[in-house]
C-alpha cells in the first residue's frame, strides 16, 4: 500500500518529526568511525535532537540565536543543526578547509556567540580570531585537555539532563541556514535560506529526479555549502532516504566504493577527481590488455565480442568507483569538462547540473566589532591570497 502524506510539513524540524511518524525504525543516518558504520534511525535522530535542543536552551540559546558550525561531516554537527532549527534559530556553516586567512576574516566578521568546532585545529582558529563566544563546543577532545579558552566544552560536557521542551511553531519563511563567504573583492557576503525555500527546492528536485526514501546518499562535506543544504540535506528530510557520512575526506573514495550509494552530489572538482581515479585503473598504454581495451571501446555496438567486453569494462569501473548502484549524480556549480562528461556517459552515468547561484548580500560593515573584513583581507593579502572561489556557490 503506498505511503500517504496528507500535507507536507513546512519546516525542517516538522519534516524530521514527519519521518519519525512514517518510518521510525528505518536507518536515517550512517557515519563510519574507526572503520565501522554506525547507524541512527529516524527515531534516534529525533530523540538526540531533542536532547541537544534541551542542552542548548539551558545555556541561553533562543529563537534569535545562531550556531556556527566549523566541522566536517559528523553526527554531532547534524544533530546540533537540527536542534538549533527546532528552537527557531539559524545555522551558520563554515568549511574548515578554507585557508587560515579566510577563516580568520570570516570568524571576525561573523563574531559568533555559539560555535561547534571539529577539534584542536578548529579551536586554534577560534583562539587566533580573538572572538569571545558564549559557548564553544568541540567534538574531538584530542589535544584540548589543557586549553583555557572561555566557555569551551566538549560535547559530553555540554549535554545536560534532558528537559522536555514545548514544540516551537516556526514560520516557513524563517531562515534555517546562513552561509557566509568572501566575494572577489574580499568582502564578507552571505546567503540566507529559509525553511520554505529549502523545502520547495527539495520537492522540485525530487520530482525531477525521482528520488525516494530508498536512496543511499553520500555526504562528504555535510553543510559546508549552500548546495549541500539545498540539494542533499533538505531532500533527505523530505524524501526520507539514508544519509551517509564517510569516516573522513581521506577515506571518502574507499567509503564510497564500500557503500555504493545511489545518490552522489559533487562539484566539477569532485567528478574530475573520481574520473582521474578511474583513468589510473585502466590498463597501461602499450600493454596487450590496453590494446584489447582500446579495440573493444572503439568498435561498433553491433560487434558482439566488443559489446561483451565493454559491458565488462564498464561494470568493473563502476564497481571500483563505488558507482555500481548509482542512479542519480548531481553536479553543483561550474560545468564539467567535456572529456569528463564523455567519460561518465561511457559508463552510463548522466550527471545532472544544478543551479548554484542564489541571492547573496554583502554583510554590513558593522557586523564585525573586532575588525572589518576588508581591513583584515588587505592585511592578510600580503602573506597569502585567499581562495577566489565563492563558497556560497559550491
Alpha-carbon distance values, 191 to 175, 343, 393 (Å): 10, 34, 10
Model pTM greater than 0.85? no
Q: Select from 144, 169, 167 the least CA-distant residue to 157.
A: 144
Rounded to the nearest 10°, the torsion over CA 59, 15, 39, 159 is: 10
Angle between helices 75-86 and 42-58 (to 10 degrees): 70
pLDDT of residue 6: 59
Which residues are paired to 192 by β-bridges?
Answer: 178
pLDDT of residue 5: 52
> Is the CB of residue 187 less than 8 Å from the CB of residue 77?
no
CA 83 from centroid of its chain's CA atoms: 17
Which residues are paired to 152 by β-bridges?
Answer: 136
pLDDT of residue 347: 84
312 pLDDT tier (thresholds 50, 70, 90): confident
Q: Looking at residues 81-90, what average pLDDT do you find?
A: 96
> Is the CB of residue 126 less than 8 Å from the CB of residue 144?
no
Q: Select from 146, 194, 201, 150 the least CA-distant residue to 173.
A: 194
27 pLDDT tier (thresholds 50, 70, 90): very high
Cα distance between residue 40 and residue 33, in whole Å: 13
Amino acid at each position: 500500500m503506498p505511503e500517504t502524506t496528507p500535507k507536507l510539513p513546512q519546516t525542517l524540524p516538522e519534516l524530521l518529526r514527519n519521518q519519525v511518524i512514517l518510518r521510525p525504525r528505518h536507518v536515517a543516518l550512517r557515519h563510519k568511525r574507526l572503520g565501522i558504520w554506525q547507524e541512527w534511525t529516524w527515531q534516534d535522530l529525533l530523540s538526540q535532537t531533542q536532547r541537544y535542543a534541551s542542552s542548548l536552551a539551558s545555556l541561553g540559546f533562543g529563537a534569535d540565536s545562531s550556531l556556527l558550525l566549523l566541522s566536517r561531516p559528523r553526527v554531532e554537527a547534524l544533530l546540533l543543526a537540527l536542534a538549533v532549527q527546532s528552537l527557531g534559530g539559524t545555522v551558520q556553516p563554515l568549511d574548515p578547509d578554507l585557508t587560515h586567512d579566510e577563516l580568520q576574516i570570516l570568524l571576525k566578521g561573523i563574531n559568533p556567540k555559539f560555535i561547534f568546532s571539529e577539534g584542536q585545529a578548529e579551536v586554534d582558529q577560534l583562539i587566533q580570531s580573538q572572538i569571545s563566544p558564549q559557548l564553544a563546543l568541540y567534538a574531538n577532545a584530542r589535544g584540548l585537555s589543557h586549553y583555557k579558552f572561555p566557555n569551551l566544552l566538549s560535547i559530553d560536557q555540554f549535554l545536560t539532563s534532558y528537559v522536555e521542551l514545548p514544540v516551537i511553531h516556526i514560520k516557513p519563511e524563517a531562515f534555517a541556514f546562513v552561509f557566509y563567504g568572501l566575494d572577489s573583492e574580499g568582502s564578507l557576503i552571505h546567503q540566507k535560506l529559509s525553511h520554505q525555500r529549502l523545502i520547495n527546492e527539495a520537492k522540485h528536485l525530487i520530482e525531477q529526479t525521482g528520488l525516494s526514501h530508498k536512496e543511499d546518499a553520500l555526504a562528504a562535506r555535510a553543510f559546508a555549502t549552500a548546495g549541500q543544504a539545498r540539494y542533499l540535506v533538505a531532500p533527505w528530510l523530505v524524501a526520507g532516504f539514508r544519509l551517509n557520512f564517510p569516516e573522513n575526506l581521506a577515506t571518502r573514495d574507499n567509503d564510497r566504493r564500500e557503500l555504493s550509494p545511489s545518490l552522489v552530489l559533487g562539484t566539477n572538482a569532485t567528478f574530475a577527481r573520481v574520473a582521474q581515479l578511474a583513468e589510473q585503473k585502466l590498463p597501461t598504454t602499450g600493454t596487450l590488455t590496453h590494446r584489447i581495451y582500446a579495440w573493444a571501446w572503439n568498435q561498433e555496438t553491433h560487434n558482439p565480442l566488443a559489446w561483451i567486453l565493454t559491458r565488462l569494462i564498464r561494470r568493473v569501473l563502476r564497481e571500483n568507483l563505488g558507482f555500481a548502484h548509482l542512479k542519480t549524480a548531481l553536479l553543483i556549480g561550474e560545468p564539467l569538462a567535456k572529456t569528463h562528461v564523455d567519460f561518465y556517459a561511457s559508463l552510463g552515468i548522466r550527471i545532472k547540473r544544478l543551479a548554484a547561484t542564489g541571492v547573496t548580500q554583502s554583510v554590513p560593515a558593522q557586523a564585525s566589532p573586532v575588525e572589518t573584513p576588508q581591513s583584515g583581507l588587505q592585511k592578510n593579502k600580503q602573506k597569502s591570497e585567499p581562495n577566489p572561489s565563492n563558497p556560497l556557490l559550491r
